[in-house]
Structure 1
Amino acid sequence: MLSLPLAPDAELTSLEPWQADEFAEHIDRHREHLEPWIPLAHTVTDTESARELLQRYAERQANGAGRLLGIRQHGELVGAILFPQFDPAAGNCELGVWLAPHAQGHGLITKAAQLMIDWAFEVRGMHRIEWITMPANERSKAVAKRLGMTLDGVMRESYLFGGRRHDAEIWSLLVTDPRPWN
């Protein structure tokens, strides 16, 4: 299994369909925290829906069109990082993340994002990485800033989520932009 260190007690690992029980339990345990921000907290409701999501990402990864990795702390699945959109032909992708409340504040999301950004630019030859967040998600915006991303703008009421329309802030990092961790 893929495993990259994020901290002495944390790692970035693969998430595969055979781990659907653990993934479903993780989402269920943190659903209240995730629901305001993460659409999949509304769609992953049991082991079967978790397996379907993990299978879709396994197929995307096999086709070079996406990736979903778990963040583990002390062996426990505490979050994930993913490329929900990944278009190598256009050189554009979107990076998304989430983390359980008890694992926040240790730099795990920032370190995982740095690894994924470096991989997307240096290995896959991407040109632009987007970070999309709700304007009210201050923690997400803080990560985008730490990653050296630029706020491109706000797409007003651009997506339907939780039964209502939401604005989306679009942050980006270009391959030519400085990366604060390099």
Structure 2
Amino acid sequence: MARVLSLQIDDARLSDLETWHAEQLAGLFRAHGEDFYDWLPWEGFEDVEGARGFIDSFTRGRGEGTRRLYGIWIGDELVGGTLFPSINARSRIAEVGVFLAASARGRGIVTRAVAAMLDWAFAERGLHRVEWRCAPGNLASRRVAERLGFTHEGTLREVFPVREERQDLEVWAILSREWSGLPPRR
């Protein structure tokens, strides 16, 4: 069974999202979904059943070693999440993603959460490469990738379905030999 992650980041906490968090996840998407759905290829988590199905798919993936989903809490409030939507042990490649309520942004929480995920991916899982994909207009996401040392490798044209429209998707990546940990905070 995969080790459960729990990490304190200043006043925020990063830990595995579990089925019993479905109501909190649904509430987060009800409150912030319009903002999230501008950048995410999936939707439909505003109700508890949809949120539970989403979490359960990651719980199964965690057991199989193919996916991970973490919640970000400030106090008792779920404000976002980070995830590995895919982990391929054979090729030693994973993709990382994030979502965060606007009220929690600008504090470095996502940068430090993803840094912890990269530490885990490279040191504990022995992965070779982690990819970051984001829409070209998602400047906050791009800045986090840059801050963490990801390299922009190119843009996939009209591959990203958002609200029945196809958008471009930038591909960023970092290799295990390039990862030296989180740079000091400025």
Fold in common (TM above 0.5)? yes
Distance 1:38 1:157 in 2: 14
1:1-182 alignment runs, 5 A limit: 2-7=5-10, 9-40=11-42, 42-179=43-180, 181=182
Residue by residue over 1:143-173, the C-alpha shift from the partner in whole angstroms, topping out at 9 and shown as x without a partner, is 0000000000001111322101110000000
Structure 1 counterpart of 2:87, which letter?
F
Whether the aligned pair in 1 keeps the contact of 2:27 and 2:46 (CA below 8 Å) is no
TM-superposed deviation, 1:113: 0.3
Relative to structure 1, the CA distance from residue 93 to residue 2 in structure 2 (aligned partners, 3 Å threshold; closer, same or farther) is closer
Q: CA RMSD in A?
A: 1.3
| Deviation (angstroms), 1:19 | 1.4
Q: d(CA) in 2 for partners of 1:181 and 1:93?
A: 18
Displaced runs of 4 or more, over 4 A = none
- Segments of structure 2 that go 5 or more residues without pairing to the other structure are none
SS at match of 1:126: coil
Counterpart residue identity of residue 161, structure 1: V
Q: Match of 1:148, as an amino acid?
A: G
Distance in 1, Cα, partners of 2:160 & 2:50? 22
- TM-superposed deviation, 1:73: 1.0
Aligned residues: 180
Q: Secondary structure of the equivalent of 2:178?
A: coil
Q: Percent identity?
A: 38
Larger mean Cα displacement after TM superposition, 159-168 or 59-68 = 159-168
Q: Partners of 2:162 and 2:12 in 1: how far apart? A: 31
TM-score, normalising length: structure 2: 0.93
| Range moving further from structure 2, 171-180 or 95-104 | 171-180
Task: Letter of the 2:36 partner, please give it.
Answer: L
Cα pair distance change 1:180/1:60, threshold 3 Å:
closer
Name stretches of at least 5 consecutive residues in structure 1 with no aligned partner: none
Structure 2 residue matching 1:154: 3-state secondary structure: strand
